[in-house]
Amino acid sequence: MGGYLSKRMEGMMKEMTRENQEFMLKAQAMQVERQLQMQTLMREKMLAQQLAMARERLYWWGGFYALASLGLIRGAMVRRQPWILGPLVPLTFVVAYQADLAYGNKMERVIAEADSMLEKERKMLALPGAPLSIDLLDSRRKK
């Protein structure tokens, strides 16, 4: 009689252990999925902040460019010396770059280039030294 109960208990314990392991695996998978979603959300927030900063910078550069343009054009007309307009050339490139970054498809091109580097130029992305490991971190922490 005792053997029957112990075998039944043993079977129930094995079943409970198996169910517990399945639950733990599902919980672990859900945790990893949530972490990935959180990392994606954080990356999107950081990218949005960078684009907002680029737009704010464009407003300042645009204002400076407008004032400088008016002043340089006026100076060139009054003095009749067209070379005074020379500083407008680099300023135009700076403002155009900021406008492309803030409102154009610059970020799409940067992301496409990064994807290309990840796919075709992995050696360019290698970190110096040995790969990171738990043992390396523990030895550094103990120093």
Residues spanned by the domain of 111: 2-126
Q: Using one digit for the tens of pLDDT, what is the confidence trace for 96-140? A: 999 999 999 999 999 999 999 999 998 888 888 878 888 888 888
pTM metric for this prediction: 0.68
Does residue 139 sit within a domain? Answer: no
Does residue 18 sit within a domain? Answer: yes
- CB count within 10 Å of CB 95 equals 18
* Contact in structure between 69 and 32 (CB atoms under 8 Å): no
Does residue 96 sit within a domain? Answer: yes
Of 58 and 132, which is predicted with more confidence?
58
Q: What domain count does the chain have?
A: 1
What's the length of the chain?
A: 143
Per DSSP, the chain holds a count of helices (H) and strands (E) of: 4, 0
